[in-house]
Structure formats: structure tokens, C-alpha cells
Amino acid sequence: MLVDTKARIGVFSIALGAYLPQFPSLTPEFEGQYEAFKKTIPDTVEIVDGGLVTTKELAQVAGDKFRAADVDLVILQLLTYATSYNMLPAVRDLDVPVVLVNVQKKKAPDYENTDTATWLGELYACGAVGEMVADLERAGKRHAVITGVVEGGDPQVQAEIEAWCRAAQVRRRFRDTNLAQIGRPYPGMMDLYIDETNLYHRMFLYTKQFDWEKMWAIADDIADEEVIRAKAQDILDTFEIEGGGTIEKVWEMAKYVVAFEQWVKEEQIAFIASHYDGFAQGKAGVLDSMLIPAFSMLIKQGVACAVEGDIKVAMAMSILKTISGTGQLSEMYSIDFEKDICIIGHSGSGDADISEKKPAMKIVPVFHGKTGGGYLTQFYPHLGPVTYLGITQDRDGRFKFVVAEGINEPGPIFTFGDTNMRTRFSCGAREFCNKWSEAGPTHHMAAASGRHIDTILKVAKIFNVPVDIITR
């Protein structure tokens, strides 16, 4: 990604201190289990190590570390029975979920040859989980439980841990990077309008405002021909250009992409929401004509670029790109009632990573609904499972996720240059349109290849926002 971030995960384990002097073998046993557990945390995140906690005082030390590091998530390994008093001081001042990993070392007891120390050290799972959740609930803390076994490996536990880490990465990305708003939202699309102060308070995302005058001049100082040539080749490698593509044909576009990449890094931008409504003449016309593929090159590198000034769909695109590797701007286009499928897509910038074949770039004399003309891009999203995510707000400004899973099917699509998907939903096209619309989303949503509702629910728990699940 052009602007990289790394989630910070608070990790600790707990055991009851009263057991340790009674059974001296437990301390090295628990230390070994905790070291092994930390290795199950993917190296895509930064571990903030709270250690092996056996007393209230050690829990307070862990809590100080987590608070100082501004952790995005806490993962707690339950080693044996422990009182919730060993857990609460570590998390009481945090506003992030606590994931209780309840893993037993051995698959099953050797009943006749198991003494108390072996039972407490290697076979005690599930006894303390209810106590922990009860007190997290009373403390107003969000929580989740993962149960499994160490012996022989447990892919389900590993998959859950990795999904939580991807979800935590969304929080860190929102927290550490900025959103660039260029221009203003498309006039009259009031579902897109947003209070940037409320956005910062509720979703941690800071908005930087930019004028188009700055964007028109952004490539003026880009003069390194070797760098421009390499970027031009990158564009040709990414897109199939109607009428044939050459370095010379995309040279000016490549200059702007290089400039945008530098700007993104300098301003720590991971989201862009833009809309231009001017005369599209001179430098304005040059940039406006090539903005769609230029922003598509940024999306390819992890920067969510949304058309029509839609900040909320830029957030949705970034969430899906972060947790799944793809994030395509979309909206409802049409319904094929004969086939009972929805046609979903959008004109504008897109994500090359969602395309099953090389996306196309073509020139049109008029952009529909906006000023000027120029390059359109058409992507060809993968067939098979697809996830849609919309982000909206209620009357009090609180955010809500709207999600659905479907299947992208083969068949004819529109040929006028926009990205389209033929999506079948388990509830049927008519009912999907009713239910999705009744949830009150903005008219844009993001799409990603695969099924991702379970991970989106984890993201929602981290941000403490509700989720409407339309169909899966």
C-alpha cells in the first residue's frame, strides 16, 4: 500500500496466582504456552505484549502498556481458571473489543493418569470464560470468544485470530491516515453529505480539504522521465486501451499518477472523495479527462478513491480493500427480472484487483451526469461469491453498516464502458432491492470478491457501529 499502517494488538494471558506455589510445574508450562500462543498472531500486526498475568497488579501493568500504545484490539489467552480480577484492570480504560481465546492444550484427557497440575495446566478450558464475559458486559466492554485446541493445530481458531487482526487493521488505518476531499459532493446527492467533525469523533477519520486549483498544478514539477516512463508502462500493463496503448499516449496521465502518489505519501492519505463541476477547460480539462484511470492506479495500491465526493463509500471501499484485498465502487444499475439478478456497477475509478481479466480504458466524448469527457475504465469482476458493504448514518449522525453477500454470475453486461456485475442474491432480486433500500444506505456501496460478512462484523464491533445484514 502507498500509505502503510500496522494494527497494534494488545496480547496477554491470565492464570490464577494461587495455583503457582501449589504446583511449581505450572509456571514453566504457562510461560511455554504463552510464548507459543504469541506466534499464532500474524506478523502483519504489531504485538503489544502484556505478559503472563497472575495478579491484579500485573493486570494493571498490562493495562498501562495497552493504553500507552493505543491498541486497536486486545486478545486474551485463557490458560486455566483465573478470576476476572486478573483481567479487568488490563482493559477497563480501553474502548476496543476483548477477544477471549479459550484454547485447551490437549484434545482429550488421559483420565486415569491425569493429576491436578496436569488438569489445571493442560486440560482446563471453558471454566473461566463465562466469568470473564459477565464482567466485561457489566463493565460495558465489547467482547468475543474463540474456543479450540492446541494439540494437532486448530485452523478455525487460527482463521478467527487472523480475521480479528485484519479487522483491527481497519481501525489503525482510519486512525493513522487522512481522507482527502477534493471539491464537494455531487450537487443534490444529500445522502452523501457528511459532517467531517462527526466523522472524526465517531470513526477516527480526519478530513483534509483540497481545491481543484492545487490538483491542476500537482504534476508541474514532475520531470524525471525515467520515473514517468516506468509509471506509463505500469498503466499499459494494468489497462487494455481502446485503439492501442503507447507510452506516449499515456505520458501525461503517468505524470499525474506519479504526482498523486507523492501527494498521497506526503499527506498520509488513504481515502480520496472527489467531484469536479467546472468548465473542464485548459489544465482542468486535461486532468478531468484522465482522472478516472489515474485514481484507479491509486486504488490498485490501496488508496480508496470515490467519485461524486462520497466520503462514506470511500470508507467502505477501504474497509473491503483492507480485509479482503479488493474494494470496488458500485451502485444498483438495473434488474433483470427474467433472470432474477441485479446488475450492479459504476462509472469511474475501479480496483484492478477485482477484475478477472485486464480492465479496459476507452475515451468517450461525454461523461454521463458530469462535466467534460475523457477516459472511462471498465473492470470485469470475478465470478463467484461477492460481498457488498454500504455505510450510512441515522438522524443523529451515528454510522451504520449495510452488508449483503451474493454470487456473481456469467452473462451479458452493458457495453458503454462502465463496470457491471450480474449478482444473484438468495432472497431474489426484487426482495434484495426492497431490503437493501429499506436499510437506508447511500446509493453507493463497495464490492469485494469473496464472502466477508463475518470479518465486517468484527470491524463493526471494533468501531461499535450496528450492522444490517440483508442476505448471505
Polymer length in residues for the chain:
472
User: How many whole angstroms from its chain centre is CA 220?
Assistant: 34
How much is the pLDDT for 92?
A: 95
Per the structure block, which three cell numbers stand in for 393?
448514518
pLDDT at 366: 82
Nearest to 352 by CA among 301, 413, 393: 301
- What mean pLDDT do residues 328-348 have? 94
Per DSSP bridges, beta strands 8-14 and 46-53 are parallel
pLDDT at 203 over 80: yes
Percentage of the chain with pLDDT > 90? 90
- Per-residue pLDDT of 262-293, as tens digits, reads 999 999 999 999 998 888 888 888 898 999 99
Q: What is the pLDDT of residue 236?
A: 97
- Please give the single-letter amino acid code of residue 117: A
Supply the pLDDT for residue 90: 98
pLDDT of residue 126 exceeding 80, the answer is no
- Strands 304-306, 419-424: pairing is unpaired
Mean per-residue pLDDT, 323-339: 96
pLDDT band at 240 (very low <50, low <70, confident <90, very high): very high
Strand ranges (E), 191-327: 206-210, 240-241, 269-275, 304-306
Handedness of CA 62, 154, 389, 241 (dihedral sign): positive
Q: How sure is the predictor about 117, in pLDDT bands with cuts at 50, 70 and 90? A: very high
The average pLDDT across 182-202 equals 94
pLDDT tens for each residue of 406-446: 999 999 998 887 899 999 999 999 999 999 999 999 999 99
Cα Dmax for the chain: 86
At 235 the pLDDT is 97
What is the reported pLDDT for 308? 93
Mean pLDDT over 97-125 rounds to 94
Higher pLDDT, 366 or 322: 322
- What tens digit of pLDDT does each residue of 50-69 get? 999 999 999 999 999 999 99
pLDDT computed for residue 282 by the predictor: 87
CA 309, CA 57: separation in Å to the nearest integer?
Answer: 50
> In whole numbers, what is the pLDDT of the chain averaged over residues?
95
Question: In this structure, which amino acid lies at residue 22?
Answer: Q
Tell me the average pLDDT across 119-138: 92
Q: Is pLDDT of 472 > 80?
A: yes
Question: Residue 147 pLDDT more than 90?
Answer: yes
CB 245, CB 239: distance < 8 Å: yes
For residue 389, is pLDDT > 80? yes
Give phi and psi for 260, each to the nearest 5: -60, -40
Pairing of strands 384-393, 341-346: unpaired
Angle between helices 282-300 and 251-267 (to 10 degrees): 70
Give the three cell numbers for residue 374: 475523457
